[in-house]
Structure 1
Amino acid sequence: MKLNKSIYNNLPIIVSYLYILLFVYAAVSKIIDFQNFQVQLGRSPLLGAFAGFISYTVISFELIIAILLSYSRTRNIGIHLAFILMVLFTLYIFIVLNYSTFIPCACGGVLESMSWKTHLWFNIIFVILAWVSLNVIYKHNRKINFRVLTIILSSSIFMFGLYLASDNIIYKRNNFVRRFPPFPTKRVDVKDLKFNSYYFAGKDDKNVYLGNHSAPALIVVLDTTLTVTNNYNIKITDTLFDFHNIQLRVSPPYFFLFDGTVPCVFRGNLNDSIALLQTTEIPGFTKAEVIDSSTLAIRTLSEKRENLLSTIDIHTGQVKKSAPNLLQKQIDGLFDTDGTLHYSSKQEKLVYLYYYRNEYTVTDYELNLLKRGNTIDTTSRAKIKMEYVESRKERKFSAPPFLVNRISAIHNNLLFVNSMLPGRYDEIKMWKNANVIDVYDILTKTYVMSFYIYKIDGDKIDDLIVTNSHLFVLIGSNLVSYKLSESLQSKYKN
């Protein structure tokens, strides 16, 4: 009985030593692998937005509390602070397990060798030990239990508030912190096409359609298993035009052929593969996307030699509408507004994504502005240097441009962007081996998630396209298919 009573009376000291061992071990583990600790915090669904501040704060608190617990004069304060910190840790794990959209990797230290549920029970045990120690110190005074309940309630409010604030920052006011949920895509198959001249010309619910720069009259059709299901050899009815760079677009059952340097458009039906001349009156353009069977959205040049978005009737060549204020000039209106043009047939929306800044523009199919959104990087102004070459009457880059958004694709409401810039807590070594794809919802102007697409033989992605269930990429001569996870597919909206 005396032994049991002695252990009971000395419980605060025993618990203090356990906490010292735990906090010192955890803090030292984080310090030794600090960069990885910050990276894992950056990917946390709860703490990602505050990873920089929290990474230093947690380590500092763990060491300070360990010191306070080491001395009898400050032990009571140390146990109070240890209880608060462990309650916060426990609530964090509880929220991640029950409310987070995904469960991140461990953050180092003891977490590294425990599952999240195991660590939750581990924390609960330490919370109980600290609570019992406080009761021993204050001889089961009712005030201490009221204080304990107050701490738990206040901590709960704080952690849920932190969760809501982090969600808002990450998805709507992102400070360049990426979220990599586990397995949003799964690599299914790779097909060697033998040539690196292929590009994506179109898609439907079951197939993707490939064009070929070296064989512009060829359409190759593959299903989601990368099995070639058909080949079309296009027959052009008029070959008198001097084409330089024929582009093929497939929007079943139609296909379209055009070259922005030649004022004509061909359209045909896949059933007979005959490309019929539609018009010879189309203005020159540098980008084009099919809106419907009779309309193209194009990027052309204004009288000031600045980029301009327009829609044209492919039968008459007449401009249906021009939108001179859509592309926002920062420097010269030409290079600084360069980007990619996409059309989402399911949303009936056009998206223009800038190459050199963190912005995209969303319009309806008549080029009426709906919204302007931002990618998560912080480059809001194009970093380019221009020079006018008098002898050639041309503007050219005088230094390599700072590329932000390289290749992109849209499906339904989701915009997939191959970003060129590492985020605040990205693993730099991954950038040597993989391409980063950021996903955005154009309807809500929010960031959704990120994932990696691994390079093949050191080659980057050359092109990508997305369907309801799959993502396809061209890397060199390889066509790679990825299955989209259910959690990613659930982000599509009708």
Structure 2
Amino acid sequence: MKLQITKSNIIQTVVVLNILLFTYAAVSKALDFHNFQIQLGQSPLLSAFADWVAVAVPLIEFIIVLLLLTNKYRLLGLYGSFALMTMFTAYIVIILNFSSFTPCSCGGILEEMTWTQHLIFNIVFVVLSGLAILSNAFNRFVIGYLSILATSAIGLVVALFLTSEDIIQHRNNFVRRLPAQFSKQHEIDLGYNSYYFAGIAKGKIYLGNTTAPLLLTEIDTSLKNKKELVVKLNNLNLPFRSLQLQVYAKNFYASDGTVPAVFRGKTGQWYATQMPQVKSKFSNPVFTDSTSFAFRTHKANAENVLARFDEKQSKTTTNPSLLQKQVDGIFDTDGILNYDPNTNLLVYLYYYRNQYIVCDAKLNLIHRGNTIDTTSKAQVKVAFNKNRNEKKLAAPPLTVNKNAYLHRGLLFVNAALMGKFEDEKMWQQASLIDVYDVKIRSYIVSFYVYNIDGKRLSRFAVDGHTFYGIIGNHLVSYKMSYLIHKRLSL
């Protein structure tokens, strides 16, 4: 009789504890559902399934509570609590040992626990549920049921983890990975907001200035020391309209595609002579070596096309198949061209659709990749002005990608669209950067760059493990996370 009372007390105590736990957990998730969904969206295990997991978990918890409250189905409720807590325990083990980063915990009093405390807490409830089930009937069949249930629960979590990783990296459904914010290293007030990155070479950052086209500002990577450099050209008798400077390790260039003109000089000497063979008008030039550069120009029908100039052969070649027309071939193919000297890759990123093009320095297509948003067709409306025989935008287009920078095979994209499970307030306070590995067409991670004095990130560059951004009048540097470090070292 004493033995029966002890077993009954064990079962009743465990049932009450589980009812309290799951009632509290389910209610807290339901009352703050949006935040719970956002937290799941940032989970390295469940990002791809956050939509239905956010609904399924509190629903299952409510069902378990109902089962535990009913004498007829109480044992089934204990099996359910055992399985669910085993899944939660497996989830934490993977988070702590196998995930790419550790997210925040999910809600209520439990949010104050560390992940290790969470793990211990969950294990205790797994053991309690198991003891209650075994107290009801201790035999080899029950032990077998518990073993199968635990194995299945762990297997399901592992399968979700592996599947979610593959989806997030290669078939992303617009769910971003946003781990802890990068730490700001240095900051300097430039005094003006007209600066742009001309290049980073030999441990120096070079900034051009749109209001002083032939002035370079050289700053060390600690952002403490700067000096002004005056660039000299051998021909100033040209109708310059948008002269831009680009600095590389050995050479620097001054170019204006509206003239058209390209000047080349030695880095450190700051005197450049004109390359006389350049005849075609161009935009967005990137210099792949000392005698050739890639750029965007126009076909006879005014549609955009990517081209390459080779000084040695004194000719310009185009690859009309690279840019793919969707609406008009002009606005819908607008974008930005980047070159990475470390991998010898060119990447063209569209502004108004979720696609980038990867090719070699001679404009041979390697492959096409996609950014994680879902805008596959450019949303642009074009009107034709008969009097001036020209096309113009009839309405502001939907911008998908604002800007980009290519470094060691990683494409850093200033995204313009908010993804799933993201906080709208954060988008008002910061700019968002998505990072892709263009060599294998995979998404890696995202991070915020916070506004300064109400101003947003306007331009940025990457060198080594450091991200540099121009925000209003300020130049700032951030140390990037291990997620990016390990990709850069591959």
Q: Same fold (TM over 0.5)?
A: yes
Runs of 5+ consecutive residues of structure 2 not aligned to the other structure: none
Tell me the distance in 2 between the aligned counterparts of 1:295 and 1:281: 10
Aligned with 1:74: secondary structure? Answer: helix
Q: What is residue 194 of structure 2 aligned with on the other side?
A: 197
Select 1:431's aligned residue among 409, 413, 427. Answer: 427
The alpha carbon displacement at 1:7 in A equals: 3.3
Q: What is residue 211 of structure 1 aligned with on the other side?
A: 208
Out of 400-409 and 247-256, give the one that drifted further: 247-256
Q: What is residue 388 of structure 1 aligned with on the other side?
A: 384
Question: Normalized against structure 2, the TM-score is what?
Answer: 0.97
Tell me the distance in 2 between the aligned counterparts of 1:272 and 1:355: 36
Q: Is the CA contact (8 Å cut-off) linking 2:295 and 2:307 kept in structure 1? A: yes
Q: Is the CA contact (8 Å cut-off) linking 1:461 and 1:474 kept in structure 2? A: yes
Tell me the distance in 1 between the aligned counterparts of 2:329 and 2:305: 9
Tell me the distance in 2 between the aligned counterparts of 1:406 and 1:251: 24
The Cα offsets for residues 327-352 of structure 1, whole Å up to 9 and x where unpaired, read as 01101111000000000000000000
Select 1:222's aligned residue among 219, 224, 249. Answer: 219
Tell me the distance in 2 between the aligned counterparts of 1:414 and 1:230: 30
Out of 346-355 and 144-153, give the one that drifted further: 144-153
Amino acid at match of 1:376: I
2:359 counterpart of 1:363: yes
The Cα offsets for residues 170-224 of structure 1, whole Å up to 9 and x where unpaired, read as 11100000001224x2111221111111100111252211011111111111121
Tell me the distance in 2 between the aligned counterparts of 1:30 and 1:41: 11
Tell me the distance in 2 between the aligned counterparts of 1:443 and 1:86: 40
Q: Is the CA contact (8 Å cut-off) linking 2:444 and 2:483 kept in structure 1? A: no
Aligned with 2:13: secondary structure? Answer: helix
Amino acid at match of 1:163: F
2:344 counterpart of 1:348: yes
2:437 counterpart of 1:441: yes
2:450 counterpart of 1:451: no
Q: What is residue 132 of structure 2 aligned with on the other side?
A: 133
The alpha carbon displacement at 1:125 in A equals: 0.6
Tell me the distance in 1 between the aligned counterparts of 2:258 and 2:315: 16
Q: Is the CA contact (8 Å cut-off) linking 1:279 and 1:317 kept in structure 2? A: no
Q: Is the CA contact (8 Å cut-off) linking 1:24 and 1:62 kept in structure 2? A: yes
Tell me the distance in 1 between the aligned counterparts of 2:390 and 2:327: 15
Amino acid at match of 1:25: Y
Q: Is the CA contact (8 Å cut-off) linking 2:353 and 2:378 kept in structure 1? A: yes
Aligned runs of 1:32-111 on 2, under 5 Å?
Answer: 32-111=31-110
Aligned with 2:479: secondary structure? Answer: strand
Aligned runs of 1:166-315 on 2, under 5 Å?
Answer: 166-183=164-181, 185-279=182-276, 281-314=278-311
Tell me the distance in 2 between the aligned counterparts of 1:341 and 1:244: 20
Tell me the distance in 1 between the aligned counterparts of 2:334 and 2:188: 32
Q: What is residue 491 of structure 1 aligned with on the other side?
A: 487
The alpha carbon displacement at 1:160 in A equals: 1.0
Aligned with 1:380: secondary structure? Answer: coil
Tell me the distance in 2 between the aligned counterparts of 1:150 and 1:486: 38
Tell me the distance in 1 between the aligned counterparts of 2:311 and 2:470: 30
Tell me the distance in 2 between the aligned counterparts of 1:457 and 1:393: 43
Tell me the distance in 1 between the aligned counterparts of 2:274 and 2:449: 40
The alpha carbon displacement at 1:231 in A equals: 3.0
The Cα offsets for residues 355-398 of structure 1, whole Å up to 9 and x where unpaired, read as 00000000011111001000000000000100011122221110
Question: Normalized against structure 1, the TM-score is what?
Answer: 0.97
Q: What is residue 120 of structure 2 aligned with on the other side?
A: 121
The alpha carbon displacement at 1:63 in A equals: 0.6
The alpha carbon displacement at 1:316 in A equals: 7.0
Out of 4-13 and 288-297, give the one that drifted further: 4-13
- Number of positions where the alignment pairs a residue of Structure 1 with one of Structure 2: 490
Aligned with 1:239: secondary structure? Answer: coil
The alpha carbon displacement at 1:455 in A equals: 0.9
Q: Is the CA contact (8 Å cut-off) linking 2:445 and 2:483 kept in structure 1? A: no
Q: Is the CA contact (8 Å cut-off) linking 2:201 and 2:247 kept in structure 1? A: no
Tell me the distance in 2 between the aligned counterparts of 1:281 and 1:467: 30
Tell me the distance in 2 between the aligned counterparts of 1:215 and 1:171: 42
Tell me the distance in 1 between the aligned counterparts of 2:198 and 2:348: 18
The alpha carbon displacement at 1:272 in A equals: 2.4
Runs of 5+ consecutive residues of structure 1 not aligned to the other structure: none
